Amino acid sequence: DFILADRDGGVQLFKAPSTPQDGTLAIRAGLAQIADAVGRSPAEIIADCDLCINGTTVALNALIERTGVKVGLLCTEGHEDSLEIRLGHKEEGHRYDAHYPPAHMLVPRHLRRPVGGRILSDGREYSPLDEAAVREAIEYFRAEGVEAVAISFVWSVRNPAHELRAAELVRAALPGVFVCTGVEVFPQIREYTRTSTTVVNAYLSPVMARYVERIDALFEELGAQQPVRYFQSNGGLAPGGMMRERAVNAINSGPASAPQAGLSVAKPFDIDNVITVDMGGTSFDITLTNAGRTNFSKDVDFLRQRIGVPMIQVETLGAGGGSIAHLDEFGMLQVGPRSAGAKPGPVCYGKGGTEPTVTDANLVLGYLPDGALLGGSIRLNRQAALDAIRSKIADPLGISIERAAYGITTLVNLNMVNGIRRVSIERGHDPRDFALIGAGGAAGMHVVRLAEEIGIHTVLIPKVASGLCAFGQILSDMRYDQLTTLPMRLDAGHVDLAQLNQALAELRNKGLDNLREDGFAADTIECHYTLEMRYLGQIHECSVELASSRLDEQGLAALCDSFHRRHQALYSYSEPGSPVELVNLECSVIGRLPRPPLPELPVPAEVGEATPSSLRKMLFSADGDWQATPVYDGNHLQAGQTVQGPCVIEESTTNIVIPPGWQATLTPTATYRVTPRT
């Protein structure tokens, strides 16, 4: 996806086929489309750009496809198997499944090399680093052709001396090998999480470095006046140098921009509570932003690898337009998580697919037009979709094709609603207090039904919905997350405010130094603080935001009150009389960038009634009748016009289904506001 924004509020969306073998090929193809549209060469366009941003799935794809580099691990003696033990963790639904396969190890057992030496939990050295063991491991790594080395020792977050010395030895002996330490990648407690995060970073960073080098070279060739910025999983931008060293920060960078885009879409309506849903061909991504602040996740399992660094919380389901409908071993209809992908794709694409998908069901129900041309090369075949649903679903169940198709869409909608509940209700938020933002090429056909099911009364669908994540990236800022560990009781007699304030200042200054190097002035920088706290004796923490950069006794009391309220919201109880313990500190240092103005549509002096371009038979209930339904061309609708459901609005890259009982108004910000009819 390509988004081009100008200073006058113009926003243009372009799409080019992905080229996983070399990302520069897809970028050149997209720039060629932009050049044709604006009548200027790619070099002229890039040279004139104030900011060029790249969001990529290179790290994610390498983790999915297991195409990272060969990694060696230096760990504290006796902890070689912590990666494999995984704290005894088995994924939800598989705890008692003896046949569930173990997680794939990014570092095989023989490349996990033990090193003697021990740091204690208070930072004291119990025994010195065994440098001979480090050198022996180096020679073994050299013989094995290791391309990256991860170093993670117990309690390095309290005293990094052993890790830093080991890294010094490895870099001197293996100059072409990538090296990272736990205290650099994730300097917080929990040895397994820190080790796993460091290993993932080592596994992916050389892959990411090669990608960044190619992209940077391309933009330098085209005359870019500013360095390319890369989008991170935390919702912020970073320079290429950072991404080469911290690929773990880019794993979820695609959907992580959705919250910023959703807030931008909702701002003209004075809405700052948004749930953004992005439905593409293979997946359905959900993010939540409450009062302008987005949910973050830490210490989570991602593709069965434990990752500790902060990431925008994205709930991802195997529910997209290509999700396959099938009957399980009990003869029950299921949809997903398997997907037909782009190749062969849904049956109606005519590219060899034989299993019916959500897209095939939408075509059968009339939400997509028979014979429509997608992407300039795929013509939809409704008869093929009918035949596939009949043979695979309807006939085996003894029901009509229409009922089977409606069942497919209903089931995938319920799966998506359950995902929305996980990011909202299960985290202490009432979804009825939020607006639902539709993103992705397939979301427009489902998002209103999702709102209807969960009780949301405002749905916003921008005209750039199919490229909303790319749109969100051009609205983002530079961001550095600084982390540290500081275990400390916060009750009188135990708290050390001077030490706590010093730790906050050190985190802040480190982030400020990074942004100053990037050329940011002091008046464009903001700092946000998050403390991870728990009741004494608990295992897991709650994240609590700190309002100021320095704590006094009054501020400490307010902080503890905030913790009690957060604990109540998450777990339905609190213990104000119990002592509270601080565990981790985080400071997010943000450099604000100028943002392009939002698109504005001209508002006619008199808003007339919208005229449909055609009528098409559609089905809106399992037992209902086919209805001759108005179809509106989105390019011909004017700002201020309202259309009543049932109807379909056809945009260039998406279709928006407005079911009975709802209405849609095109607003001057190029966004459809969909609400229940009054």
Q: Dump pLDDT digits (tens) for 404-448.
A: 999 999 999 999 999 999 889 888 899 999 999 999 888 999 999
CA distance 475 to 596: 7
Q: Dump pLDDT digits (tens) for 164-212.
A: 999 999 999 999 999 999 999 999 998 999 999 999 999 999 999 999 9
Return the higher-pLDDT residue of 239 and 91: 239
The angle, 0 to 180 degrees and rounded to 10, between the axes of the packed helices 382-389 and 401-423 is 90
State residue 377's pLDDT score: 59
Answer whether 482's CB lies under 8 Å from 573's CB. no
User: Is residue 375 pLDDT above 60, yes or no?
Assistant: no
Calculate what percentage of the chain has a pLDDT beyond 90.
69
Answer whether 602's CB lies under 8 Å from 637's CB. no
CA distance 3 to 622: 39
CA distance 432 to 103: 38
Q: Dump pLDDT digits (tens) for 615-649.
A: 999 999 888 789 999 999 999 999 999 999 899 99
- Give 339's strand partners: 323
CA distance 368 to 365: 8
Query: In the predicted model, what is the mean pLDDT of residues 13-22?
Result: 82
Calculate what percentage of the chain has a pLDDT beyond 70.
99
State residue 128's pLDDT score: 97
Query: In the predicted model, what is the mean pLDDT of residues 355-365?
Result: 94
Query: In the predicted model, what is the mean pLDDT of residues 360-376?
Result: 84
Q: Dump pLDDT digits (tens) for 439-487.
A: 988 899 999 999 999 999 999 999 988 888 888 898 899 999 999 999 9
State residue 524's pLDDT score: 92
Q: Dump pLDDT digits (tens) for 279-331.
A: 887 788 899 999 888 878 888 888 889 999 989 888 888 788 888 999 988 89
Q: Dump pLDDT digits (tens) for 43-102.
A: 999 999 989 999 988 898 888 888 999 999 999 999 999 999 998 877 777 888 888 888
CA distance 369 to 362: 9
CA-derived radius of gyration, the chain: 27
> What pTM was computed for the model?
0.85
Q: Terminal CA-to-CA distance of the chain, rounded, Å?
A: 37
